[in-house]
Amino acid sequence: MQRDYFKIEKNSGDFPYYAGDPQKLTIVQWLSLVLVLLAQFWIMSTATLSFLPKGIATALMDIFLVGVPMGLLWWFTKHAIGALFKPLKWRDTLTIIKYVLLMVVIGLGSTIALNLIGQTTNGDVAGDQVTGLVGYLAVFLDNILSLFWEELISLIPLLAMMAGLKALGVSRKISIILSTIVTSILFGALHLPSYQWNVPMVFTSIVFLRLILDVLYLKTKNIWLTYVTHLLYDSFVFALPLIFGLIFKH
């Protein structure tokens, strides 16, 4: 293991693209990807597609969110997009479970801490749709693509910032630390509208949950693991109203 690598990176290799493996992206290409993702966030936040049935509008928006940046990345990397994905193995199951449980502990802990100091806590507005099994399934189906896009809007800026810092001569470890902190804060900031602009909750919960997923990516360099972990965590959180409803109903 090279000195500029962290211990948890053992056997996971280097990050894709930022250092030219398997394909180097220019700074302009990185900026283009980041700007497209931010533009998509604005479109998602403002466009309603109210002239379409809700399910169709949601599906079209999800396809747009994932398809555009993936298409650009496929073009910029000269079809070497597979470097983002590594095959999942059975031993990855334990890793996913451990990180989901860690996220549950962090999420619960931050909620308790905020309540103890008198801060209000509230869930994602998507959780308001979970009024029954049908509502839960609708949110879950939406999350299948939308949470993959959330991984893109987290990891592409992270890799882009690392590439920029590398071009400035910053060491690999420092680049990873700075990029992870900055992009986790950005990820949290983008969630402010979904959490009714609850700044304390977003920056004590969402940011730290993102940091956990970024550590998982640092450890594995596999977007599949961060995506599946993210999907399972959100699925569990959104299932809680149903679970509590069944418990207290009886």
The confidence score (pLDDT) of residue 117 equals 82
The confidence score (pLDDT) of residue 13 equals 85
The confidence score (pLDDT) of residue 175 equals 96
The confidence score (pLDDT) of residue 159 equals 96
Taken in order 230, 79, 9, 158, the sign of the CA dihedral is: negative
Close Cβ partners of 135 (under 8 Å, ≥ 6 residues apart): 129
Per-residue pLDDT reduced to its tens digit, 78-102 = 889 999 999 999 999 999 999 999 9
**Under 8 Å between Cβ of 69 and 156:** yes
Closest by CA to 163, choosing from 10, 13, 21, is 21
Q: How is residue 9 annotated by DSSP?
A: G
* Rounded Cα–Cα distance for residues 90 and 64 (Å): 32
* Rounded Cα–Cα distance for residues 26 and 18 (Å): 9
Considering just the CA atoms, what is the radius of gyration of the chain in Å? 19
The confidence score (pLDDT) of residue 131 equals 67
The confidence score (pLDDT) of residue 250 equals 55
**Under 8 Å between Cβ of 166 and 97:** no
What DSSP line would sit under 120-183, residue for residue? -----GGGGG-SSHHHHHHHHHHHHHHHHHHHHHHHHHHHHHHHHHHHTT--HHHHHHHHHHHH
Ranges of the chain whose pLDDT falls below 70 = 1-2, 121-131, 244-246, 248-250
Helices (H) and strands (E) in the chain, counts: 8, 0
The confidence score (pLDDT) of residue 130 equals 61
**Under 8 Å between Cβ of 35 and 29:** no
The confidence score (pLDDT) of residue 241 equals 73
Taken in order 77, 78, 81, 86, the sign of the CA dihedral is: negative
Closest by CA to 209, choosing from 227, 224, 230, 190, is 230
